[in-house]
Chains A and B, each alone.
Chain A
Amino acid sequence: METGKTRNKIIIYTVLTLLAALMLMPFAWMVFASFKSNNEVFSLPMRLLPREWHFENYKLIWEKIPLMTFFKNTTKLTVITTLIQVFTSCFAAYGFAKVNFKGRDLLFVVYVTTIAVPWQVYMVPQFALMGKLGLTNSHLGLILMQAFSAFGVFLMRQFMMSIPTELLEAARIDGLTEYGIFFRIALPLAKPGIATLVIFTFVNIWNDFMGPLIYLNSTELKTIQLGIRMFITQYGAEYALIMAASVLSLIPVLVIFILCQKWFVEGITAGGVKG
């Protein structure tokens, strides 16, 4: 019985380790290819590790394309969009969860209904509207388009709902205004929700491709994803450099992911399994 259990454990570990290695294989290939010469990337017989390490690829890539500009643009878009998203969502979520105003339930139904509408359904009229407002090919347009998702409000409302109303009542009796209650009680208690929303918004905006693809034409406005895409179409044969740029674009997300994995998991669980 005991040996059977040990055998099972060994099998499980082996299978999991092999599968995990398979999952990470493309990233390993990416990293090692980024240190190869362009010729070596596709030379036969194939090998994972470079014959010679071309560290200068990581210097060259900054000179070939305005990578710094792309990084700055992406950071700017990501930070501003995330801030607006989190602040307005928390505000609205508190209103929906804890203030019994007229028309609240109807308004919330409207919000929830639009969550079910994929962005791809209304991206064309949205783009036309932005065009009328003169906001296409601008960062502002892209920020406004992504900063007010109904999903953020919905997610934060879930967290705000779990705050006991008696606690808020007590604060009211102590003389706090509604805004004081929001900032000093509700917001601190909703921290796990905020962390989740920040992480998901950050990663979504950082990785977004279709939004910038549609909205941004000028090179000096482009994001890192568009920049790499541009590099691939322009220098299709510079495989090693393409991989170097890809590695660089993944680093911020990797760092965030490793630091905040807990919130990712909680976010998926909160938004998902509830059913």
Chain B
Amino acid sequence: MTSKRKRAIRTNLIGYSFVVPNFIGYFVFIFLPVCFSFVLSVMEWDGSDVPMKFVGLKNFVKLFGDSTFQISLKNTLWYAVFTVPLTLVAALAVAILLNSKIKGIVVYRTAFFFPYVASLVAVGAVWNMLFQPEFGPINELLRFIGIENPPKWCASTDWAMWVIIIVSVWKYMGYYMVVYLAALQGISKDLYEAAGIDGATGWKKIRYITIPMLTPTTFFVVIMLTIQCFKVFDLIYVMTGGGPGRSTNVLVNHIYNAAFVDYKFGYASASALVLFAIVLIITLVQMRGEKKFTDFV
């Protein structure tokens, strides 16, 4: 054996020794389950000792005929369609304000960011009280400014999703504000100075310099937010439980209920693969876009 070959083997062994502690855990608890979810989606199984039964595409056929699944898909889309742009605009607006050379930026940033790290159980409980229809402070305020019949919020099939959207925007905008702040600090001052010489004022600078320069960041934020919206569960579980009726039942509720309430593991995995397909498509869009933006910048 040549010494070169010996050294290569030694390097390999050293490399494996570094990776192996993580890899064992990763392989057993993440990689295998990911692969297993494809197998499970064509099986019928209640999770017990009774062996699973191969059923082909039956779970998927059942899934697309299931009205609860259709509603949960529709609700998730509805939630995303409003949460993504609202969070984005809020985050961008606050980031631009914070970026205007003000003092005490850390204090403000803390205030905007704290909801993001606060637990959803605590936050859900307090928002439920704030939105309480008869005695809650929000409706009290609405009555005070002359709205006689304020919405019943979480008790109303028309309004419950709006509560979830409002709380989501409040909770997540701080994270994307930090992303935007970092990107804003990367925009060259020269651009603004040049525009100033050409006579551009505040709003025009934002419209024709800031927003175009932030396009790659905005693209990234839209992707992250959309994926996050399709994974929503905790907030809905603690605030409305998917109700009233099925009005806030989302995709992950559907997976959760199928698996851990009805014990239909195969059916739940089929629903989970729909979530996977959606996230995969979004990720592919991101990869294409990333290429485009790296060319552009």
| Interface residues, chain A, with chain B CB atoms under 8 Å away | 8-9, 12-13, 15-16, 19-20, 23-24, 26-27, 29-30, 33, 41-46, 84, 87-89, 91-92, 94-96, 99-102, 104, 107, 110-111, 114, 116-118, 120-129, 131, 144-145, 147-150, 153, 178, 182, 203, 206-207, 209-210, 213-214, 225, 228-229, 232, 239, 242-243, 246-247, 249-250, 253-254, 257-258, 261, 264-265, 268-269, 272-273, 275
Contacts and interface: CB of A to CB of B under 8 A. Distances in A.
20 contacts: A16-B108, A20-B112, A26-B115, A29-B137, A33-B129, A42-B136, A100-B15, A116-B279, A124-B255, A127-B47, A128-B45, A129-B32, A144-B28, A148-B30, A214-B256, A249-B122, A264-B113, A268-B175, A268-B178, A275-B217
Interface in B244-297: 252, 255-256, 259-260, 265, 268-269, 272-273, 275-276, 279-280, 283, 290, 293-294
B191 interface: no
Nearest to A9: B102
A77 to B, nearest CB: 14
A24 B114 contact: yes
B12 A102 contact: yes
Contact of B135 (A42, A91, A114, A225): A42
B34 interface: yes
A239 to B, nearest CB: 6
Contacts, number: 280
Given A42-B136, A92-B21, A114-B31, A272 B220 contact: yes
Contact of B21 (A91, A124, A126, A178): A91
Give the secondary structure class of B's interface. helix
Given A42-B135, A273-B182, A150 B272 contact: no
Given A209-B119, A273-B217, A92 B135 contact: no
B265 A124 contact: yes
